[in-house]
Structure 1
Amino acid sequence: MWIQYPLLALLLLIVILWLVTFVLRIRAIQAKNISVSDMFSVNRSAFPVHLRLLGNNYDNQFQQPVLFMLGLFALELDALAGPFWYGCAAVFVVARYWHSYEHVVRRDLLKRTLAFTLGTLSLLALWSNYLFYLFALND
């Protein structure tokens, strides 16, 4: 079951982002940098920039990565494996880590966009190849 490795790597990224966001938000409340009411209503405009970026990046992990996970599950259901799909999965996961790093740490919009584009292209390649396989199978 090869899909477990990219899934675990992606889940690790999500957990790390969640923990860092959680800890830094608690510290910001304790330091009175944000109010409990802002936290309760998730009024991100009142959050310091680094907390907004972390929150946005964490939310991003529930967009394209969900399509990625669905693609991996579809490949698993059809018992498909191969170097092409391994490569797409590896590129996607590495691109997500890179995207998060550029989004939260370096804050480099150009590199973040490149990472996003690379991840998007690998996701598109994975799904396109899978759909091509399904339609070719039915012919």
Structure 2
Amino acid sequence: MQISIYLLLAALFLQTLLTLTIMVIMGKRRFKAVREKQIQFDQFKTMALDNGPEEVILASRNFTNQFEIPVLFFVVSLTALAMKLVTLWFSTFALLFVISRIAHTYVHIGSNHLRTRFRLYLVGCIFIILQWITLILTLI
């Protein structure tokens, strides 16, 4: 198997691992908030957590984020794999996308500095676009 395929699979795995890690962080923050009576357990029936602590809201929002732009990453990556069009550039852009998502998550659930978070979001979007461009250019 080519190194580019290994790199792409590593990127796919890391993005999945990031999502699962955020799920665990979100769960811990939610349980802590319930234990400390910052939110009521019944609020989870409708997920009405808007009055919860900021750290709970940020982790929940970041978990939701993992099913937005990363979906485009999975689509383009799996398309390239299925069509056997994975190149080293494609895989590099995939890894850079995941690194940008890890950095975005770190900022989002940490300092939540909006300018930095937005820039990291844009960088990730650029890497998705570059993946698509690479795929199309490889195809023609």
TM-score by length of 2: 0.90
Q: Is the 8 A contact 1:29 1:35 kept in 2?
A: yes
- Supply the distance in 1 between the matched residues of 2:11 and 2:132 (Cα, whole angstroms): 16
Q: Is the 8 A contact 1:88 1:126 kept in 2?
A: yes
- Report the equivalent of 2:126: 121
- Supply the distance in 2 between the matched residues of 1:4 and 1:17 (Cα, whole angstroms): 20
Cα deviation for residue 75 of structure 1 reads 0.7
- Supply the distance in 2 between the matched residues of 1:43 and 1:113 (Cα, whole angstroms): 26
Within the alignment, does 1:28 sit opposite 2:47 as a pair?
Answer: no
Cα deviation for residue 133 of structure 1 reads 3.4
- Supply the distance in 2 between the matched residues of 1:55 and 1:21 (Cα, whole angstroms): 6
AA aligned to 1:118 is: V
Deviations 1:86-114 (A, max 9, x none): 21101100000010011111211111111
Q: Is the 8 A contact 1:28 1:34 kept in 2?
A: yes
- Report the equivalent of 1:42: 47
Cα deviation for residue 28 of structure 1 reads 1.1
- Report the equivalent of 1:91: 96
Secondary structure of the 2:34 match is helix
- Supply the distance in 1 between the matched residues of 2:38 and 2:69 (Cα, whole angstroms): 32
Structure 2 residue corresponding to 1:82, chosen from 81, 87, 93: 87
TM-score by length of 1: 0.91
- Supply the distance in 2 between the matched residues of 1:113 and 1:30 (Cα, whole angstroms): 33
Deviations 1:16-61 (A, max 9, x none): 1000111111121121110112222111212111110110000000
Structure 1: runs of 5+ lacking an equivalent: none
Structure 2: runs of 5+ lacking an equivalent: none
Between the two proteins, what is the percent identity of the paired residues? Answer: 22
AA aligned to 1:4 is: L
Cα deviation for residue 128 of structure 1 reads 2.2
Which runs of at least 4 in structure 1 moved beyond 3 Å after TM superposition? Answer: none
How many equivalent residue pairs?
Answer: 135
- Supply the distance in 2 between the matched residues of 1:61 and 1:87 (Cα, whole angstroms): 20
- Report the equivalent of 1:60: 65
